[in-house]
Amino acid sequence: MRYAETGYKLEVDLSRGNIEKVETDPEITEQHLGGQGTAIKELWDRVPPEVEPFSPENLLIFSTGMLTATPVCGANRTVVNSFAPQTNMYLHSVLGGYWGPELKHAGFDRIVISGKSPDLVYLWINNDKVEIRDASHLKGKGANETADILRKELNDQDVQVVSIGLAGENRVYFASIEHGSSSAARGGAGAIMGDKKLKAIAVRGTKELNVAYPKELFESYLRLTKEIYENPATGDTMADSYTDTFHHDNFSWGNARVRRKGFWSEEYEEKYVKFTEENLLRWTGCYNCPKHCHLLMAWPGRKNNFVKCFGRATYHMAAFKEHDFSYEITPVALEYGFDSYSTPQVMAFAIELYKVGILTDADLPNFPSDVKDRFYYLLDKIARRDGIGDVLANGIYWAARQIGKGAEKYDHNTLKKFEQVPLKLGKLNPPYFLMTATGEKMNVPQIEGSFPQDPLPTREEREEFVSGWEAAPNERMKQIFVEWEKKYDVTNEESCMIVDWNEIMHYVDDAVGLCAFVSSFRGGQFGGRPPYHIHNIPDFIKLAHGLELDKDGLWKIAARNRNLIRALNVRRGLRRKDEKPPEDHWAVRDHEFEQNLLDDYYEFKGWTIDGIPRKDTLHELGLGYVSDDLIKRGILTGDELPPSQEKQKQEAQKTGGASRER
């Protein structure tokens, strides 16, 4: 009997209309856990680097975490993976809500979708009964509108649906997959789904899910739930949503991408809180999670709608409008199926080009004069790929190069062809440089979180902090924090350790299905006492699945997943030259320092001087087949040295060459 996982995946070939229920290999679970881990193994084995994102051979994978749908509270995540149209690199997006647990109760751990349907379809999963159904009546429908229609059509309000809107149907590169209060938004997963002509996946599951030690696991569930409710450091502190000064004052948004320093004030905060509370129906959350972090809003003139994460701020900051503009436009954007990070930046980019004359009235006929109206105009143009919207739908990097005429100069904020969180800060922060430059997930919020962003003012406060810091992986990390006095004063070695821990925790969460807000994203920012951390997650894995792990074993699995994703991207052309954050992320830059920091990070990770995992590193992680492939392709020779030794070798060759010349 399999515990925590069902032991089955669903293979759907849309080109042939073929559906197969396939038993999975338990050894893959032991090596990669689940979620993102098992998905990347599928992508490595089945999608060669020459396969383009919009090829029928590309896979779109929905994977539940190992612990998803078990009594482990907060374990409800589904990871969506593929290759991104914007970057041709690994695509990673995470979905909360109820869909993943429903899939498990239907009897499947993941769905692997290949091929392309000739016509628009949706997938209907009712336990073991799985059908590909006509979706022509859903063409052009909004993402959440589609879910409502399908629940009525299937005569079951408990059906859980993921769906795309018009942006996904038209393969907009930053299209999202929507699921009520949750979105798989980053990376363009909605575009891949639209390319495959898959409008939605509706799931109803009523099967039991077995766990290894049910009594002990349920007791642990009760204890953790009580802790989350009662501990203000880990619980639901929604005041943070109202007073997010950092993001308003330090994000660069709007047409000129200027820093809005001093924008937030007590007066503005009071105003924001007032109109938010006046239009708030309730806070709600995901499956089996006591932390309610989604706002359900009843905004005048709009259908009741969930507002999520930074989506409640991104549109108004991009437009330089009052905060209520985000609440007004977000329901429209989510029905189209748009990522709320990239989309406002793309629209602000277009308005900026119009202001400087690169885009003209010929490109934007009947372009409104009011900024708010301009955002609605562009939103519709992009979703429909109409006129200039067809170019903007490819994201800022590609649009700038298609438009030309100097538009590249206004590509302020892309890294590896992808819009980043638009930071506008002062002095470079070394760990954040590394996370931004080298992260495979292309999104800092899915990398940061375990280590605090800022030091506490006094040593006494820092010592008090670490005295209860259960989440810290070792005493060395506590020592780093105690001795940390100035925000930017971190050694290269310490930066590497901090980033490695931050990454590892997110890779753990994305494999077991834990929400980052009860684990990897709450370690440092919220008192260092998240309910889940590197020391106790192995206990929950054992109680739910039966797999015996300690901290080091769990860390190694996460490192294995991290390096396999790195190899996926390396196989598609990623190299050191690509790992440079947008120039204006920080006001003060030091190229030599940044390059030395990259050298040290690559050495710390066991990679080459060009950022490629070395043969010995891959073998140590049980990824010998990966190094064999990279050697066969000529990407590795197998004899690569660590960066420090490689630099010494290069220096010696230069010196020797100079001596011979003399």
- Residue 241, helix vs strand vs coil: helix
Task: Please compute the mean of the pLDDT values over residues 432-455 and round it to a whole number.
Answer: 89
- Return d(Cα 394, Cα 176) in angstroms, integer: 14
Amino acid at 531: P
Determine the CATH number of domain 243-289+293-419: 1.10.569.10
Q: In this structure, how many other beta carbons lie within 10 angstroms of the beta carbon of residue 402?
A: 13
Q: What confidence score (pLDDT) does residue 581 get? A: 87
- Residue 70, helix vs strand vs coil: coil
* CA-based nearest residue to 606, from 505, 454, 496: 496
Q: Is the pLDDT of residue 661 over 90?
A: no
Determine the CATH number of domain 8-204: 3.60.9.10
Per residue in 157-200, pLDDT (tens digit) is 999 999 999 999 999 999 999 998 899 999 999 999 999 999 99
What is the distance, to the nearest Å, from the Cα of residue 24 to the centroid of all Cα atoms in its chain?
26
Task: Please compute the mean of the pLDDT values over residues 210-238 and round it to a whole number.
Answer: 76
- Return d(Cα 412, Cα 56) in angstroms, integer: 33
* CA-based nearest residue to 449, from 400, 395, 409, 508: 508
Burial (CB count <10 Å: 0-12, 13-18, 19+), residue 275: middle
* Assigned token pair, 661: 């010349």
In sequence order, the 6+-apart residues with CB closer than 8 A to the CB of 533 are 470, 471, 505, 519, 523
- Return d(Cα 211, Cα 215) in angstroms, integer: 10
Task: Please compute the mean of the pLDDT values over residues 569-576 and round it to a whole number.
Answer: 97
The residue ranking higher by pLDDT, 94 or 528, is 94
- Dihedral over Cα of 70, 74, 76, 77: its sign: negative
pLDDT > 70: what percent of the chain?
91
Q: What confidence score (pLDDT) does residue 662 get? A: 47
Q: What confidence score (pLDDT) does residue 92 get? A: 96
Average pLDDT score, the chain: 90
Domain spans of the chain? 8-204, 243-289+293-419, 441-605
CA geometry: angle 539, 541, 543, nearest 5 deg = 70
Contact 77, 35 (CB under 8 A): yes
Contact 178, 161 (CB under 8 A): no
What is the distance, to the nearest Å, from the Cα of residue 329 to the centroid of all Cα atoms in its chain?
23
- Residue 523, helix vs strand vs coil: coil
* CA-based nearest residue to 62, from 83, 79, 77: 79
Q: What confidence score (pLDDT) does residue 624 get? A: 97
Predicted TM-score (pTM) of the model is 0.93
Candidate from 28-32, 342-346, 443-447, 631-635 with smallest mean pLDDT: 443-447
**HEC secondary structure over 200-239:** EEEEECCCCCCCCCHHHHHHHHHHHHHHHHHCCCCCCCCH
Per residue in 487-519, pLDDT (tens digit) is 889 999 999 999 999 999 999 999 999 998 888
Contact 201, 114 (CB under 8 A): no
Q: What confidence score (pLDDT) does residue 247 get? A: 54
Q: Is the pLDDT of residue 245 over 80?
A: no
How far from 21 is each of 18, 106, 108, 521, 620, CA to CA, in Å? 10, 12, 8, 35, 33
- Residue 499, helix vs strand vs coil: helix
- Residue 12, helix vs strand vs coil: strand
Q: In this structure, how many other beta carbons lie within 10 angstroms of the beta carbon of residue 503?
A: 26
* CA-based nearest residue to 35, from 524, 566, 516, 443: 516
Q: Is the pLDDT of residue 432 over 80?
A: yes
* Assigned token pair, 450: 């375990």
Greatest alpha-carbon pair distance for the chain in Å reads 87
Domain 441-605 has CATH 1.20.140: no
Burial (CB count <10 Å: 0-12, 13-18, 19+), residue 603: buried
Contact 304, 296 (CB under 8 A): yes
Q: What confidence score (pLDDT) does residue 263 get? A: 58
| 464 phi and psi angles, rounded to 5 deg | -65, -40
- Return d(Cα 451, Cα 498) in angstroms, integer: 6
* Assigned token pair, 553: 């074993």
- Return d(Cα 633, Cα 44) in angstroms, integer: 14
